[in-house]
Amino acid sequence: MGDNENQQSVNPDADTTQETLDAKMVMPMFLSSFSHALDAKSRVVVPSVYREGLGKDFVIAPSLDFECVAFYPKAVWEREIQRMYRKAQKSISVGGRILEQFSTLSFPGQECDSQGRCLLPARAKQVYLGDVKEVVIAGRMDYVLIKAQDKAEETDRSFMENKAELLRQMDMIED
């Protein structure tokens, strides 16, 4: 085997914009939702359908709307923190505060134990879940959301009340 066979070529003309890189990345797709209870140690069972997509270690951080806890595959979390960083450079007053809160409440290197449970960091649980025990674990395409059961039910009710208008607006968006 020649020396050149193991070398990867680098194309300096390759499009490396963030949008192109994002489009080329194959991300796991997290779908469905499950109801679970946190145990006495604030551990949650991560459904097996999510574990492979999250990877061996993942990041627990705020959801993108800062309403709940989220589990991100490392690549997705890195993409989001980079996006926030770029925006923070353009607007320190807004972007900087959002980046600061997101990074302060991000906990990389999380993993599930042999029973599929993950310990929620105390600070993330306190800020986003409080004292709730019943949660909904829901896929959000490229990350997993952990939401208090009552908030999840409120979200479902709100959607059902507004679905006709939302569907009308969705029809107006071009493919």
List the chain residues with pLDDT less than 50: 1-16, 21, 24
- For 61-83, b/e burial (b = at least 16 CB within 10 A) is bbbbeeebbbbbbebbbebbbee
pLDDT tens by residue, 52-71? 999 999 999 999 999 999 99
- Domains of the chain in sequence order: 26-172 (3.40.1550.20)
pLDDT computed for residue 145 by the predictor: 96
50 closest CA partner among 145, 152, 150: 145
Starting at the earlier edge strand, list the strands of the sheet with 107-110. Answer: 33-37, 134-139, 144-148, 69-72, 58-62, 107-110
Q: How far is CA 31 from its chain centroid?
A: 12
User: ∠ at Cα 141 (65, 174), nearest 5°?
Assistant: 90
- For 99-116, b/e burial (b = at least 16 CB within 10 A) is beebeebbeeebebeeee
Judge contact between 143 and 71, C-beta under 8 A.
yes
pLDDT computed for residue 109 by the predictor: 96
Judge contact between 125 and 59, C-beta under 8 A.
no
